[in-house]
Amino acid sequence: MAVSPAIDPSRAPWLTASDTRAVLAAVMAGGKAARLVGGCVRDALIGRTVTDIDIATPESPPRVMELLIAAGLKAVPTGIEHGTVTAVVRGKPFEVTTLRRDVMADGRHAVVAFTDDWTEDAARRDFTINALSADPDGRVHDPFGGVADLAAGRVRFVGEPQARIREDVLRILRFFRFHAHYGQGAPDTAGLAACRELAPLLPRLSAERVAAELLRLLRAPDAASTVRLMADTGILAPILPELTGIERLRGLQDVDELAAGDPLLRLLALLPDDPGVAGTVAERLRLSNADRERLVAAAGPPTAFWPAHSERDLRRALHRLGTQAVRDLGLLALARGDAAFGRQAVAAAQVWQPVALPVKGQDALDLGVPAGPRVGELIGAVERWWEDGDYRADRAACLAHLRSLVGKAAT
């Protein structure tokens, strides 16, 4: 891939957009420079869509706050002690970070000092492709050969890989994440060897950081090849010992026009069909309650109607488990190669309109049933009858059935 050493402003609308210009102009108004840094430069050079715009400057964080405010922009001190101020222009955030160098890093924590040296700031970044910066006119600064590495699809550490991993163990996972998204061919030998050697340090990382990197990795179009590589390198045993199959992830990638690169579903594809295991993984990775419930629901419902053998079973699953779970289960079935059933489940989830039982406990009370457990039993019986009838009975029919049950009980 040919990579130009400059961002062509005519092909990078985000660079010339008035919001970006306003932030750059505000930061530079004190007479010092500002550059675009990190992911936006890397992605622009290979024609990928840029969403997050990060800016660096030698101005101090309090000075950046002043300059933004003086220009009439909103300034939020999001990480001011680490050097980051967020400028917000018409709702869009721009992170403005003061140039930094590492004073101390022990694998988990880092102490930074501010600097006015652009190369020092680039040297503390993880990979050469992430150490690029660009002037506001698009001219790229490339202190470590990142442009060539980007073109070659090579994720290479800035500096000595082992030393850089010992400073921050998360870089092991970032190496694979960036390889999954930007790599071509075999990974960098020295980087891979260092990751293999230092994999035993992975359990030191906080669950949140591991989860964030893992899920970002799983978004890559061919995440499965990198997951395979990680498993072979001993990276996954310390962080995802439950991993069972990578083949199902490949299968899911094959139906990606339906699955849309959903990282949670991709994670589930790697795990055994066991709600208990899914719950354990979700808890260890500190996923949100909603995400944990989704994983558990799609890991295998313990019910008589799943796997669904008929349209009616499918509707029952949709009603009891919800559309998200049935869609997830359908996609996992597709990933296993069960095409007919998987497509049917996905299609059914697409069109399903949720239904609600049209009678309530109050209806039983109104028929003279005394308050107590009997009310719930009666409504439960109506619900089973309504489900057996495929949710077709309306309120009048359900009431009539309830009345007949109450009458039967009375006699």
Q: What are the residue ranges of helices labelled H in 71-206?
A: 118-123, 146-152, 161-167, 170-182, 189-198
Q: Which is nearer to ligand ATP, 59 or 126 (CB)?
A: 126
d(CA 149, CA 144): 9
Q: Which H or E element spans position 93? A: strand 92-98
Contact present, 188 and 156 (Cβ < 8 Å)? yes
Residue 129 contacts by C-beta under 8 Å, 6 or more apart in sequence?
Answer: 42, 146, 149, 150, 155, 156, 178, 182
Is residue 141 helix, strand or coil? strand
Residue 44 contacts by C-beta under 8 Å, 6 or more apart in sequence?
Answer: 7, 11, 12, 14, 15, 50, 134
Should residue 130 be labelled a site residue for Mg ion when binding is judged by CB under 5 A? no
Q: Which is nearer to ligand ATP, 36 or 89 (CB)?
A: 36
Q: What's the closest the beta carbon of residue 220 comes to ligand ATP, in angstroms?
A: 10
Query: Of these partners, ligand ATP, Mg ion, none, which one is at the site of residue 294 (CB under 5 to 8 Å by kind)?
Result: none
Q: What's the closest the beta carbon of residue 52 comes to Mg ion, in angstroms?
A: 5
Chain Cα centroid distance, residue 365: 48
Q: What's the closest the beta carbon of residue 252 comes to ligand ATP, in angstroms?
A: 21
Query: Of these partners, Mg ion, ligand ATP, none, which one is at the site of residue 125 (CB under 5 to 8 Å by kind)?
Result: ligand ATP
Should residue 311 be labelled a site residue for Mg ion when binding is judged by CB under 5 A? no
Q: Which is nearer to Mg ion, 218 or 281 (CB)?
A: 218
Chain Cα centroid distance, residue 148: 29
d(CA 98, CA 82): 8
Should residue 96 be labelled a site residue for Mg ion when binding is judged by CB under 5 A? no
Query: Of these partners, ligand ATP, Mg ion, none, which one is at the site of residue 170 (CB under 5 to 8 Å by kind)?
Result: ligand ATP
Count CB atoms within 10 A of the CB of residue 371: 9
Q: DSSP character for 354?
A: P
Question: Restricting to residues 242-281, which ones interact with Mg ion according to CB under 5 A?
Answer: none
Query: Of these partners, ligand ATP, Mg ion, none, which one is at the site of residue 130 (CB under 5 to 8 Å by kind)?
Result: ligand ATP
Should residue 170 be labelled a site residue for Mg ion when binding is judged by CB under 5 A? no
- The structure tokens listed for 197 are 């050697």
Stretch that binds Mg ion, among 44-52, 93-101, 250-258, 297-305 (CB under 5 A): 44-52
Q: What's the closest the beta carbon of residue 161 comes to ligand ATP, in angstroms?
A: 12
Q: Which is nearer to Mg ion, 47 or 376 (CB)?
A: 47
Q: What's the closest the beta carbon of residue 123 comes to ligand ATP, in angstroms?
A: 10
Q: Which is nearer to ligand ATP, 170 or 318 (CB)?
A: 170
Should residue 215 be labelled a site residue for Mg ion when binding is judged by CB under 5 A? no
- The structure tokens listed for 239 are 């962080």
Should residue 79 be labelled a site residue for Mg ion when binding is judged by CB under 5 A? no
Q: Which is nearer to ligand ATP, 170 or 281 (CB)?
A: 170
Contact present, 5 and 138 (Cβ < 8 Å)? no
Q: What's the closest the beta carbon of residue 129 comes to ligand ATP, in angstroms?
A: 8
Q: What are the residue ranges of helices labelled H in 337-372?
A: 339-351, 361-366
Q: Which H or E element spans position 157? A: none
Q: Which is nearer to ligand ATP, 71 or 212 (CB)?
A: 212
d(CA 318, CA 352): 7
- The structure tokens listed for 29 are 């108004």
Q: What's the closest the beta carbon of residue 146 comes to Mg ion, in angstroms?
A: 16
Query: Of these partners, ligand ATP, Mg ion, none, which one is at the site of residue 168 (CB under 5 to 8 Å by kind)?
Result: ligand ATP
Should residue 52 be labelled a site residue for Mg ion when binding is judged by CB under 5 A? yes
Q: Which is nearer to ligand ATP, 38 or 136 (CB)?
A: 38
Tell me the residue nearest to ligand ATP as measured from the CB.
Answer: 39
Question: Restricting to residues 10-39, which ones interact with Mg ion according to CB under 5 A?
Answer: 39
Contact present, 379 and 359 (Cβ < 8 Å)? yes
Is residue 57 helix, strand or coil? strand
Is residue 105 helix, strand or coil? strand
Binding residues vs ligand ATP (CB under 6 A)? 38-39, 52, 125-126, 130, 168, 170-171, 174
Q: Which is nearer to ligand ATP, 41 or 379 (CB)?
A: 41
Q: Which is nearer to ligand ATP, 128 or 233 (CB)?
A: 128
Contact present, 204 and 211 (Cβ < 8 Å)? no
Contact positions vs Mg ion (CB under 5 A): 39, 52
